[in-house]
Structure 1
Amino acid sequence: MNDNLLKESQVKENRRNFLKGGLVLGGLALLQPEKAISSPKTQGINEDFKILTGPYLQTNFGNSISILWITSKDSSSWVEYGESAELLDKKAYGKSGLGLKPTDRLNCVKLEHLKPGRTYYYKILSKEIKDFQPYKLTYGETVSSGIESFLNTDTSKEEVSFVMLNDIHDRPKSIAHLLDLDKGNPRDFVFFNGDIFDHQTDEQQIIKNMLQPCVDYFAKKTPFLYVRGNHETRGKFARDFPAYFDQVGNTSFTLGPVRFVILDTGEDKEDAHPVYAGIVDFDQYRIEQAAWLENEINRKEFKNAAFRVVLMHIPPRYSGDAHGAVHCTELFEPIMNRGKVDLVLSGHTHQYKVNPPVKGLNNYPIIIGGGPKEGFRTLTKIKANKKQIQVSMLDDSGKEVASHVCLKK
């Protein structure tokens, strides 16, 4: 127990120093006046109609994939796709609500009932809505992407491979830099484990500091998954932020031999902290996720998986004594122990570390990625088959700084 207390003290001191170095301004920004910006609904009103960013792919697997993109103005949008680049013979639209197709700038079209292990070709199209009267809609020009492709992953595959990035903190160049460390290797997905931003300011920040770097590097062909960190809960745009993604909260899915469980750990500050001015309820949010997790560990998909991997920004231990971190330990650790979780992947502390299982505490290894500054950034590579999970963590020079193997029990 003395070693564990020492680790907790070191983590607490490291995060305190980091916050003193400037990130505390992200929280205090909530109290400061900000420059006026155009609303997303009006910002492109005098501009040419165009695709601002995209397409970018997200998925929970299960023979479906979501294709997302953002246009400068409201539009009628769709995806044309097929199994040949010469024959895009299918068309899909965004989800209708009460019989109404979407006519927005934020486009998300989900392709369903795809064939496992097949390559699909697609392009996105948007037709500008110039005027929307009760009985007359006037269209403008149509814009489209080039033809792109993706492999619909076979969920019964023997081996799974992905990489994890975490705690980028509004440093968009880090995305390509870190992914270059594993360039050329096949990945089923890229996972962003929170705090990709310092706080949420506006749409341009989301596009410039995450979406466009992902589109430029991989996201047209390879899907990413994303869970919020505590910094994504901060700022005036935090409530708009989820609309730019198909999934940023808790979810679960099976891919190959692994049951993946994603938890949204919320904020590490207490709900009553002055910077939130009484407008958050993360304690209840985590309690609801704990109930969901309890149901998840009793599902046959979870129990029958060769391995069970949990991905969460704030680790369930070894992240100091801030309220949110302690609450995560109290709520999630006992459930994950009962569920016989094999591995937890986290971020948040800005110090990479492999924490081995400790009987009676975390009965599973907790692997924590690095921080945002040069020399502390990490790329975590994970490969799993029915016999083992191999984890290799690289620093931003490409040197392996941590590794771990989980064997089938």
Structure 2
Amino acid sequence: MAMRRFVLGFLAILVFVGCRSSAGLLGPMVQVGRTDGKTGMVIVWRTDEVGDSRLDYGPFPHYTDSVYDSSLVTYHAVTLKDLRPGTRYSYRISTNGKVLAEKFFYTNKSNLEPFTFAVFGDSGSGDDHQDKVARQVEEQAPDFILHTGDLIYYSGKDRKYSEQFYHPYRDLISRIPFFPSMGNHDYKSNEGQTMLDNFVLPGNGRNYSFDYGNAHFIALDSNRANKESAVWLEADLAATQQKWKIVFFHHPPPFTGTHSGDENITDLWMPLFVKYKVDIVFCGHKHLYSRSRPVNGVVYIIEGVGGKRRYNFTPAPHWAYGDDDHWGFGWTAINGNELVFSHFTDEGKILDSFTIRK
């Protein structure tokens, strides 16, 4: 009993950088939800016990406004409105009168400003490899993150989210939006509903899109590459007028070789990528890094070295570059008519890079 009291006491005083922590707290996490990310944002956190939700916020370093929800919940999601684009905000979350964390976030930049994002996947190891990738992403300070699937191994269970998601990315998700796509391991838990329940995503969350700067981003559930998803995808691509179009999902198309997705990706999705001039498609599933030569104008990049064990890369004519010796992540900088992509290792070394100009 004495040891139990010691452990509980230690957890109660454990403090992560920049926040006052509480035992049982997961998050906070910045999400865009159904806002535009420039004038609105959603702050999410989870608690072991039911309670109310209070969020104090204001232009950094001040607290000028508050939002309160008296609903007794364990999943807390507070929407902020009337924010200023490209602005740093302080925020403080409380439940049942207790301050749980104090952080800050950035609203999305305006359409004309340059921006950056990181992309990685197959990350849920919960070990040092995942942590090293996360710390290196932090050093690069992206504006947001895309994830190519398989957040949680091996079967997407909710009890694994603390170890494999909330803790490794605590200093990232509290400041910038994190956009996941559905991996096959995530899908194993209630057909992916567990993953969807942990986030506040645009649209229906399974297939969704959002804009940032002069780019349009689309997340697809490659576990359900079917006619319904293709109809949604075409309508979404046809509606955007953004200069850059970027798609991300988990299973790579079959042309990439073994351990790939089904033929519906080839038959139903890939023609739409060509028709609507998608620039880059990011995938995961293969635990390696590889970049294709343009396929009918579209570059396919596999970012699957976010932390889980690596697979072997097999050279082929369609690959411009491949690596299976390092964990790492992709990094994209967009500035007007120029897009620069680089693949970083978890040590901060750039292995591959290319530029697209329009």
Please report the TM-score for the alignment, with normalisation by the length of structure 1. 0.71
C-alpha distance 377-149 of structure 1, shift in aligned 2 (>3 A): same
Hey, what's the Cα distance between the residues in 1 that align with 2:260 and 2:346? Answer: 31
Partner of 1:378: 328
**1:78–1:91 CA contact under 8 A, matched in 2:** yes
From 217, 220, 235, the counterpart of 1:263: 220
Structure 1 residues 32-111: aligned runs within 5 Å: 50-59=23-32, 61-93=37-69, 102-111=71-80
Partner of 2:289: 352
Q: CA RMSD in A?
A: 2.6
After superposition, the C-alpha distances for 1:255-297 in whole angstroms (9 at most, x for unaligned) are 112111121212xxxxxxxxxxxxxxx35xx332211111112
Partner of 1:402: 352
Would you say 1:244 and 2:198 are equivalent positions?
A: yes
Q: 3-state DSSP class of the match of 1:398?
A: coil
- The Cα of 1:337 is off from its aligned counterpart by 0.9
**1:369–1:380 CA contact under 8 A, matched in 2:** yes
- The Cα of 1:379 is off from its aligned counterpart by 1.1
- The Cα of 1:228 is off from its aligned counterpart by 1.5
Which residue identity lines up with residue 233 of structure 1 in the other structure? Y
Which residue identity lines up with residue 291 of structure 1 in the other structure? V
After superposition, the C-alpha distances for 1:312-371 in whole angstroms (9 at most, x for unaligned) are 222335344678432212111011111111111111122311101133xxx311111143
Partner of 2:275: 338
Hey, what's the Cα distance between the residues in 1 that align with 2:293 and 2:332? Answer: 16
Partner of 1:34: none
Would you say 1:309 and 2:263 are equivalent positions?
A: no
Hey, what's the Cα distance between the residues in 1 that align with 2:130 and 2:329? Answer: 10
Hey, what's the Cα distance between the residues in 1 that align with 2:65 and 2:217? Answer: 33
Hey, what's the Cα distance between the residues in 1 that align with 2:218 and 2:157? Answer: 29
Which residue identity lines up with residue 345 of structure 1 in the other structure? F
Would you say 1:226 and 2:162 are equivalent positions?
A: no
Hey, what's the Cα distance between the residues in 2 that align with 1:297 and 1:287? Answer: 15
Hey, what's the Cα distance between the residues in 1 that align with 2:259 and 2:72? Answer: 43
Would you say 1:289 and 2:229 are equivalent positions?
A: yes
Q: 3-state DSSP class of the match of 1:194?
A: coil
Hey, what's the Cα distance between the residues in 1 that align with 2:259 and 2:287? Answer: 15
Which residue identity lines up with residue 144 of structure 1 in the other structure? V
Hey, what's the Cα distance between the residues in 1 that align with 2:156 and 2:333? Answer: 35
- The Cα of 1:382 is off from its aligned counterpart by 0.7
C-alpha distance 338-289 of structure 1, shift in aligned 2 (>3 A): same
C-alpha distance 318-63 of structure 1, shift in aligned 2 (>3 A): farther
- The Cα of 1:182 is off from its aligned counterpart by 4.6
Hey, what's the Cα distance between the residues in 2 that align with 1:110 and 1:71? Answer: 18
C-alpha distance 112-69 of structure 1, shift in aligned 2 (>3 A): same
Partner of 1:278: none
Which residue identity lines up with residue 193 of structure 2 in the other structure? R
Partner of 2:210: 253
Hey, what's the Cα distance between the residues in 1 that align with 2:138 and 2:124? Answer: 22
**2:112–2:213 CA contact under 8 A, matched in 1:** yes
Q: Which moved more, 1:144-153 or 1:329-338?
A: 144-153
Structure (1/2) with the larger strand percentage:
2
- The Cα of 1:50 is off from its aligned counterpart by 5.0
Hey, what's the Cα distance between the residues in 1 that align with 2:80 and 2:62? Answer: 19
C-alpha distance 208-183 of structure 1, shift in aligned 2 (>3 A): closer
Partner of 1:327: 264
5+ residue gaps in structure 2? 1-10, 13-21, 311-324
After superposition, the C-alpha distances for 1:74-127 in whole angstroms (9 at most, x for unaligned) are 11212122225443322154xxxxxxx642211111212311122221111112
C-alpha distance 323-346 of structure 1, shift in aligned 2 (>3 A): closer
**Alignment size in residue pairs:** 318
- The Cα of 1:178 is off from its aligned counterpart by 1.2
Structure 1 residues 120-269: aligned runs within 5 Å: 120-127=89-96, 142-200=97-155, 202-215=157-170, 217-235=171-189, 238-247=192-201, 248-266=205-223
Hey, what's the Cα distance between the residues in 2 that align with 1:256 and 1:399? Answer: 27
Q: Over alpha carbons, which structure has the higher Rg?
A: 1
**2:331–2:343 CA contact under 8 A, matched in 1:** yes
Partner of 1:364: 298
Hey, what's the Cα distance between the residues in 1 that align with 2:123 and 2:112? Answer: 31
C-alpha distance 193-172 of structure 1, shift in aligned 2 (>3 A): farther
The percentage of counterpart residues that share the same residue type is 24
Hey, what's the Cα distance between the residues in 2 that align with 1:70 and 1:258? Answer: 31
Which residue identity lines up with residue 303 of structure 2 in the other structure? G
Partner of 1:133: none
Q: 3-state DSSP class of the match of 2:234?
A: helix
Hey, what's the Cα distance between the residues in 2 that align with 1:319 and 1:75? Answer: 48
**2:252–2:260 CA contact under 8 A, matched in 1:** no
Hey, what's the Cα distance between the residues in 2 that align with 1:67 and 1:293? Answer: 28
Hey, what's the Cα distance between the residues in 2 that align with 1:201 and 1:263? Answer: 17
**1:81–1:120 CA contact under 8 A, matched in 2:** yes
**2:30–2:174 CA contact under 8 A, matched in 1:** yes
Please report the TM-score for the alignment, with normalisation by the length of structure 2. 0.80
